[in-house]
């Protein structure tokens, strides 16, 4: 799944749309109504799965996202 698939991708990962929506609300990517993306949610939704994984790894390590490669099988970015 590519850009604009934040809810659908998370739904596929957790297996339940309601749970996916609750997780996105908890992360403040969705507003309380469960339908409207927040500014952060819009930013994340504009990213591909690869970009989100690299962004997570970058935040976790403090290294730039360009230092990581994406593994589609695990949805995880690893250092080059």
pLDDT at 47: 94
Per-residue pLDDT reduced to its tens digit, 26-55: 999 999 999 999 999 999 999 998 999 999
pLDDT at 4: 86
- More confident of the two residues 3 and 1: 3
CB of 7 closer than 8 Å to CB of 17: yes
The Cα–Cα gap between 64 and 12 comes to 28
- For residue 1, pLDDT over 90 is answered with no
Percent of the chain with pLDDT over 70: 99
């Amino acid at each position: 799944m590519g850009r604009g698939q934040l809810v659908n991708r998370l739904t596929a990962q957790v297996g339940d749309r309601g749970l996916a929506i609750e997780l996105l609300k908890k992360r403040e990517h969705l507003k309380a109504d469960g339908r409207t993306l927040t500014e952060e949610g819009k930013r994340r939704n504009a990213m591909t799965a690869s970009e989100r994984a690299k962004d997570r790894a970058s935040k976790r390590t403090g290294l730039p996202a360009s230092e990581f490669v994406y593994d589609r099988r695990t949805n995880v970015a690893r250092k080059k």
